[in-house]
Amino acid sequence: MKILLTGKNGQVGNELARCLQGLGEIICLDRTQMDLADLSQVRQVIRLSKPDIIINPAAYTAVDKAESEIDLAMRINAEAPAVMAEEAQKLGAAMIHYSTDYVFDGTKSGSYTENDETNPQSVYGRSKLEGEKAVAQLCKAHWIFRTSWVFGVHGGNFLKTILRLAQERDSLRIVADQTGAPTWARTIAKTTAAALQLGSVDHILATAGVYNLCAGGDTTWHGYARHVVTQARQLGMPLKLVPESIEPIPTEAYPVPAPRPRNSRLSTEKLQSTFKLALPDWCADLDICLKELIQDTNEKS
């Protein structure tokens, strides 16, 4: 089996590059080898490499910047996945694509299922939804994994930002009225690999569809930040900030260009029952990742 993996330096791409080892020949690409903004290059690379499966974690993920870079966000998140899906279908290949809780408006009171109506409120959310629709329409054998609040050892994320700010400041104000599940990039990659171990293109075809893929449990950004600071202090990281000095604030007190869903909770029942997989709780994953991050920092200093 030949797998073409995009975005090898991203949070999820980096973990996928490791988790997919042993599943076949993995061609890992970064933006210098396949620029998703260059649609003819995307087509050409796929035609030359002839993969059995395209896995696409690469995306335009600068949520606020997307509000002013609409064309670029649409090209990378919607048009490039459309080209990949079209080429995959021509080759008889499958496509695994990643999407986001931002396809929803966040007004539902419970967890979102895959059948809930989408209603993105931002350019990023709209671009990701267009990408989902294109993949589903153009490539029969597809999995679209919707995830949320991704963190990891590699790349930029909320966890690393909080750790940095907690070293620099003695107080913080964090939004406390948006709820979701912080999800480790490694769990996304491991789950993808475990699903693939059950079968290749035919299996993807038989189980084609959208699946929510996020950690168990939920929290707010404020709860998340408090947990990070509490755990990091327990692990001996020298921080100025104490958890009690993180002030909960409403969304309105932290204005940003792109509106965020208030409720980002995703039900993972469909994924767990289809692939017979269990997903860890966000805190359990975060604690392991935090230990790795602190170990890395100690080794470097």
Candidates 17, 20, 76, 166; binder of ligand NAP (CB under 6 A) is 76
Residues in the chain: 301
Residue whose beta carbon is closest to ligand NAP: 10
Site for ligand NAP (CB under 6 A): how many residues? 26
Give the residue, chosen from 2, 49, 116, 155, that forms a contact with ligand NAP under the rule CB under 6 A: 155
Secondary structure class of 215 (helix, strand, coil): coil
Q: Decide if residue 121 touches ligand NAP (CB under 6 A).
A: no
> Could you say whether residue 10 binds ligand NAP (CB under 6 A)?
yes
Q: Using CB under 6 A, which residues numbered 26 to 65 contact ligand NAP?
A: 30-31, 35-37, 57-61
User: Of the two residues 149 and 221, which places its CB atom closer to ligand NAP in the complex?
Assistant: 149
- 104: contact with ligand NAP by CB under 6 A: no
Note the maximum CA span of the chain: 57
Nearest approach in angstroms of CB 238 to ligand NAP is 27
**Up-side HSE of residue 197: CA atoms within 13 Å toward CB?**
13
Q: Which residues are catalytic?
A: 124
As measured in angstroms, the least distance from the Cβ of 245 to ligand NAP is: 25
Cα–Cα distance between 155 and 184 in angstroms, integer?
12
List 126, 128, 142, 226, residue binding ligand NAP (CB under 6 A): 128
Least distance in angstroms from the C-beta of 240 to ligand NAP: 26
CA 164 from centroid of its chain's CA atoms: 22
Pick the closer one to ligand NAP by CB: 221 or 275.
221
Enumerate long-range contacts of 87-92, CB under 8 Å, 24 or more apart.
87/42, 87/43, 87/46, 87/47, 87/54, 88/46, 88/51, 88/54, 88/138, 88/139, 88/141, 89/138, 89/139, 89/140, 91/46, 91/50, 91/51, 91/52, 92/201
The correct pick among 3, 4, 5, 7 for binding ligand NAP (CB under 6 A) is: 7
CB atoms within 10 A of CB 255: 6
Listed ranges 103-111, 146-154, 199-207, 281-289: which one lies at the site for ligand NAP (CB under 6 A): 146-154
Packing angle, helices 80-91 and 123-138, rounded to 10: 10
User: For binding to ligand NAP (CB under 6 A), which residues are involved?
Assistant: 7, 9-13, 30-31, 35-37, 57-61, 76, 98, 100, 128, 147-150, 155, 185
